[in-house]
Homo-oligomer: A and B are copies of this chain.
């Protein structure tokens, strides 16, 4: 399973590609940040972001895209930019017919560290260990994008098992 994780943002949009299946060592295929000029108008920044994400999709051909789910408990201005950046990521993936999953920050932290309230350093440390990297990816947005991709690889089979269990239970209910 090859997953592109996207930590949406206008100034820095983290991107990371991870390949693997749950229960086996994972491989990092790429990590980086798409930046857009802070002084430019919003429309131009969204175009630059679209071009950047298209390059990542084109080069790595992921089977899934995992995007951080945006909440609005944070600063209002930041949330708007994040929501708009995530819209571009969703659009680029869906336009290519690639399934997109949204994961919350606490789901991602829980997946890679065991705690939904882990800090940036802890997430960075676990991403480094799980992908057997020499050093934590920088900036934090890039590490977060890798954590999103790992989270998606690990959650996908759990979600499948849950669906199978529900289906089995339904069958048993009918045959009992």
Contact = CB atoms under 8 A, between A and B. Distances in A.
A4 B143 CA distance: 40
A82 to B, nearest CB: 9
Interface residues of A, number: 25
Contacts of A86: 84
- Work out how many copies of this chain go into the complex: 2
B80 A50 contact: no
A46 interface: yes
A91 B88 contact: yes
16 contacts: A42-B90, A42-B100, A43-B90, A43-B100, A46-B90, A46-B94, A47-B94, A47-B95, A50-B91, A72-B79, A79-B83, A80-B83, A84-B84, A84-B86, A88-B91, A91-B91
